[in-house]
Amino acid sequence: MRKLIFLWIALVVVSLQALANDKVSFTASAPDAVAVGDQFRLAYTVTTQKVRDFRAPSIKGFDVLMGPSRSQQSSMQIVNGVSTSTSSITFTYILMATAEGSFTIPGATITADGNQMVSNSVQIKVLPADQVGAASSGGGNSSQQGNTSRASSGTSVSNQDLFILPTISKTNVYEQEAFLLTYKIYTLVDLRGFDNVKLPDFKGFHSQEVELPGDRKWSLEHYKGRNYQTTVYRQFVLFPQQSGNLTIDPARFDASIAKATQVSDPFEAFFNGGSNYIEVKKTLMTPKLTVDVKPLPGDKPADFSGGVGEFSISSSINSTNVKTNDAVTIKLVISGTGNLKLIGDPEVKFPDDFEVYDPKVDNKFRLTSAGLSGSKVIEYLAIPRNAGTFKIPAVKFSYFDIKSRTYKILTTEEYELHVEKGEGNAAQTIANFTNKEDLKVLNEDIRFIKQNDVTLSQKGDFFFDSMLYWLLYLVPGVAFIIFFIIYRKQIAANANVAKMRTKKANKVAVKRMKLAGKLLAENKKDVFYDEVLKALWGYISDKLNIPVSRLSKDNIEEKLRKYGVEDALIKEFLAALNDCEFARFAPGDDNQAMDKVYSASLAVISKMENSIKH
């Protein structure tokens, strides 16, 4: 018995030891990209302090300027009375890139908690040195400004300091063939955000926006001799709906930039908030793009449903042996990648005397750069009303294959359905009739012949020249006159588009703020701030009957003052705009910032509604 107890204790100790070892990690980290001449950190971190025999790998392609330096970190956290502690040791090297290319630094080895461990390897891309200015130290994982070369001096921002480049994955496509449009930011300056973004309407395309992560990842990229900090701003998957040379119009971005200045006058620095940065505005326009869209070949199959991509189809039936009035379900599954959302539903040809219902469609696809990927599930339900053996023919599905550039026809299996006579309504079905398309069920489609005494009248006598006949003429006329008298004022008001727009401004803004509230609850940061900005700018545009394109922070104060709005409220409105714009890109607690912006925007719209005088 004692031996069993000792054995059980030993097993528990070994299990706990193994569990503890599983929690220990040994990882290497370094920037994804650096430039020739850049200095950066290569760090190896192990999540325990019981270590020995750290051995770094052979580092080729870089000069080791310092290291390894050892540092220890430890922390303790108490949650609901339960304390947890973490500790780690980091071995850091300072390296300098000396040559262009892609380099791999193998993993290091260490003995942690008595077990030998190997870290992951890291891959680093070394870009050419910047042709204008010297690249700052740091790496691709540093802040946005930390790796960019020096931008042009002064308070101006040139087109080489900041621009947005649109790119498309394909320039020659077929109708309905998906391709990816990407708007990418290239910057050498401290970009704080965008005051206004106007994207093209994608005329001639069906567009779907790609959902990007909320926290944008910046990386270093060499472009035309300069090393820029870059990030993908927006992405769209486009499906051309017609052939020819289709144009994607330029997009407009009104950028807000923090520009460093050298302030020699201490009084000027004081009135600038003690900061050596000023806010600079710049409007960015992207170049126009052209896509050559070829028409689909003319030899389309007769049952072509518009599918373009790569697809497969399968079918299934719930049962091939049923009784009359039992439901028969045939499921078609179209899988693949392409314009799944725009494909027409294939036709299942049931026997003529089956009662057929509209198909149920379930879309199970996700958006990718090549189009919609996944499956489209279509369920067809029919009810046989007569006994017998029936054949449900195979379903044909044709599509245009992008790889082979030909039409392909896919066929499902054919089903033989055995229907036995059932109970209930089955006895009421008509067994023999010449036209089964016209006659279905006796109690529903054909009325019984009346056998009692009936009164007959000549056709038209009971209605023509009767009281009901004249009332049908008089009542609509009288109703129209009454309606016109009651609603003529409202009709006149509706005719004044500007007045109606002003009247409905608050209603439209409240609707947008409700949507923003839902986005706040879902913690969708970027979309939330976009919706709040639309509500604020749209409200002022509608209320003052001035297009948004003609409004700016510089002239909005003058416009509002003409309508009798107090200066304090104008400043509060402008502050709400600024808080919304800067909170989107500011670090810190996103939820707290979003709550603050939401409450402030609601309050200022409410105050503005009571202050604007017409």
How far is it, in rounded angstroms, from Cα 410 to Cα 70?
64
pLDDT at 426 over 90: no
Q: What angle do CA 544, 549, 553 make, to 5 degrees?
A: 70
With beta carbons less than 8 A apart as the criterion, state whether 185 and 231 touch: yes
How far is it, in rounded angstroms, from Cα 157 to Cα 280?
8
Average pLDDT over residues 37-56: 89
* pLDDT tens profile 189-246: 888 889 999 999 999 999 999 998 888 888 899 998 889 999 999 999 999 999 999 9
pLDDT at 399 over 90: yes
**DSSP β-bridge partners for residue 367:** 372
Helix axes 525-544, 553-562, angle to 10 degrees: 40
pLDDT at 436 over 90: no
- Structure tokens, 428: 């009421």
- The mean of the pLDDT values for the chain is 80
How far is it, in rounded angstroms, from Cα 382 to Cα 352?
11
How far is it, in rounded angstroms, from Cα 399 to Cα 429?
40
pLDDT at 423 over 80: no
15 phi/psi in degrees, rounded to 5: -65, -45
Length of the chain: 614
User: Residue 585 — very low, low, confident or very high, per pLDDT cuts 50/70/90?
Assistant: low
DSSP summary character for residue 318: S
Helices marked H in 167-249:
none
pLDDT at 145 over 50: no
How far is it, in rounded angstroms, from Cα 201 to Cα 184?
18
Phi-psi region of 373 (alpha: psi -120 to 50; beta: other; left: phi over 0): beta
Q: Which of 141-155, 172-186, 534-548 has the lowest mean pLDDT?
A: 141-155
Phi-psi region of 111 (alpha: psi -120 to 50; beta: other; left: phi over 0): beta
Average pLDDT over residues 335-346: 90
Pick the most confident of 320-334, 423-437, 480-494.
Answer: 320-334
Backbone Cα Rg of the chain: 36
CATH topology (fold) of 162-293: Immunoglobulin-like (2.60.40)
Q: What is the reported pLDDT for 173?
A: 93
User: Residue 500 — very low, low, confident or very high, per pLDDT cuts 50/70/90?
Assistant: low
How far is it, in rounded angstroms, from Cα 594 to Cα 524?
10
Nearest to 233 by CA among 184, 191, 162: 184
Task: Characterize 505-516 residue by residue with b for buried, 16 or more Cβ atoms within 10 angstroms of its Cβ, and e for exposed.
Answer: bbebbeebbeeb
Helix axes 590-611, 525-544, angle to 10 degrees: 10
User: Residue 181 — very low, low, confident or very high, per pLDDT cuts 50/70/90?
Assistant: very high
pLDDT at 96 over 60: yes
Every domain of the chain with CATH number 2.60.40.10 lies at 23-126
* pLDDT tens profile 102-131: 999 999 999 988 888 999 999 999 998 887
pLDDT at 612 over 80: no
Q: What is the reported pLDDT for 519?
A: 80
One-letter amino acid of 530: D
Q: What is the reported pLDDT for 464?
A: 62
Q: What is the reported pLDDT for 136?
A: 40
With beta carbons less than 8 A apart as the criterion, state whether 374 and 365 touch: yes
Question: Domain 303-420 class?
Answer: mainly beta
Map residue 47 onto helix, strand or coil. coil
Q: What is the reported pLDDT for 396?
A: 92
- Structure tokens, 68: 């390894």
pLDDT at 590 over 80: no
Average pLDDT over residues 293-304: 90
Q: How far is CA 293 from CA 179, 241, 370, 407, in A?
A: 11, 9, 16, 18
Share of the chain above pLDDT 90, in %: 33
Q: What is the reported pLDDT for 435?
A: 38
Q: What is the reported pLDDT for 457?
A: 62
CATH topology (fold) of 497-611: Four Helix Bundle (Hemerythrin (Met), subunit A) (1.20.120)
**Quick count: other Cβ atoms within 10 Å of Cβ 26?**
24
**Cα-to-chain-centroid distance, residue 267:** 48
Q: Name the maximum alpha-carbon separation found in the chain.
A: 114
One-letter amino acid of 410: L
Pick the most confident of 33-37, 330-334, 449-453, 462-466.
Answer: 330-334
- CATH number corresponding to 23-126: 2.60.40.10
Q: What is the reported pLDDT for 81?
A: 65
User: Residue 9 — very low, low, confident or very high, per pLDDT cuts 50/70/90?
Assistant: low
586 or 437, which is more confident? 586
Share of the chain above pLDDT 70, in %: 79
pLDDT at 424 over 70: no
pLDDT at 542 over 50: yes
Nearest to 376 by CA among 363, 358, 360, 367: 363
Q: What is the reported pLDDT for 113?
A: 86
Average pLDDT over residues 527-538: 82
**DSSP β-bridge partners for residue 222:** 227
- Which run of H or of E encompasses 493? helix 467-495
- Structure tokens, 571: 């400043």
**Could you tell me which residues come within 8 angstroms of residue 311 by beta carbon, excluding any fewer than 6 positions away?**
334, 335, 336, 337, 338, 397, 399, 410
Average pLDDT over residues 177-197: 92
Q: What angle do CA 559, 563, 569 make, to 5 degrees?
A: 80
**DSSP β-bridge partners for residue 253:** 197, 284
Nearest to 125 by CA among 231, 58, 221, 229: 221
Q: In what order do the strands lie in the sheet with 26-29?
A: 26-29, 39-46, 82-97, 62-79
Task: Characterize 567-577 residue by residue with b for buried, 16 or more Cβ atoms within 10 angstroms of its Cβ, and e for exposed.
Answer: eebbeebbebb
* pLDDT tens profile 477-495: 888 888 878 776 665 555 5
Average pLDDT over residues 537-545: 79
Task: Characterize 83-102 residue by residue with b for buried, 16 or more Cβ atoms within 10 angstroms of its Cβ, and e for exposed.
Answer: eeeeebbbbebbbbbeeeee
How far is it, in rounded angstroms, from Cα 437 to Cα 522?
52
Q: Which of 384-388, 398-402, 588-592 has the lowest mean pLDDT?
A: 588-592
Q: What is the reported pLDDT for 236?
A: 95
- Structure tokens, 36: 């020739």
How far is it, in rounded angstroms, from Cα 249 to Cα 200?
5
pLDDT at 58 over 90: no
377 phi/psi in degrees, rounded to 5: -105, 125
- Which run of H or of E encompasses 566? none
pLDDT at 79 over 80: no
566 phi/psi in degrees, rounded to 5: -70, 155
